[in-house]
Structure formats: C-alpha cells, structure tokens
Amino acid sequence: MDENILNKSNITMKSSIPIFRIFDEEKAKEFYLNFLEFELDWEHRFEDEMPLYMQISNGGLYLHLSEHHGDCSPGASIRIEVDNIRLFQANLLSKKYKYSRPGIEKTSWNTLEVSVTDPFGNRIVFFESM
C-alpha cells in the first residue's frame, strides 16, 4: 500500500464553513449584512426564480446561506469567537434593529456571550473567553 496514503501528517484540516437555511433573501440580507455587518462575497442561482445560495464573510469568518431545502435544517446553532465582545454588543444595540436587542451573559465556563437568532431560527453565539 502507498505509504503517503497511510501518513496522516500529510493531511491538514482547515476551518469549516457552516451553512444556515434561509427562507427570505431580503430578511437574510437585512439581518446578516446590515445588522451583523457581514460582507456579501457572492451569490449563486442555477437559474432565475431558483433558490439562492450565497457566501457572506466578516474578517476570516465565512458563512453560507441557502434557500435550498436539502442543504440543511433551520434551527442550527454555531459559536463564533470574537475580540472585544462588549464593543460588538454595543454596536449591535446602536443599530436599534427591531427584532433583536442582545445582552451579554457571563457564563460559568468563563466566557462573555452575546446570542442572536436569525429570522429563520438559526442561533449564533458570539463569545469571548475571560
């Protein structure tokens, strides 16, 4: 058997890209681009009037948002580590987004956390270790 096939040191895993299910392009963009300040990297549809698949990013973090029913289920949850969680939370509150006014929670596992839920039931927990 080929020695390279068995040598795990030749394998490098990189960061994952979570996929969230969305149902409304306009609401998704309002939440992710306006409220959370992600950038729109690209959009894809197989043809007009087909479901949207897009990539958004913020710094080195990438998310995929999909209207395709087979890609994922609504109600997923992810955790994202951030620096300066208090400034991040203050920035969110300053937008006066009528569907979310997140607070900061100090956890027993020594993190400060800001949780938001998107319009489709997906939860994002932003956290900073203390």
pTM of the predicted model over 0.85: yes
Residue 114 pLDDT > 70, yes or no? yes
Give the residue ranges of DSSP H helices in 1-130.
3-6, 25-29, 85-94
Residues in the chain, overall count: 130
Cα 64 to chain center, whole Å?
8
∠ CA 26-27-31, rounded to 5°: 120
Residue 4 pLDDT > 60, yes or no? no
Of 4 and 88, which is predicted with more confidence? 88
User: Per-domain residue ranges for the chain?
Assistant: 15-129
Confidence of residue 2 (pLDDT cuts 50, 70, 90): low
Confidence of residue 71 (pLDDT cuts 50, 70, 90): confident
Superfamily the domain 15-129 falls into: 2,3-Dihydroxybiphenyl 1,2-Dioxygenase, domain 1 (3.10.180.10)
Averaged over 61-75, what is the pLDDT? 92
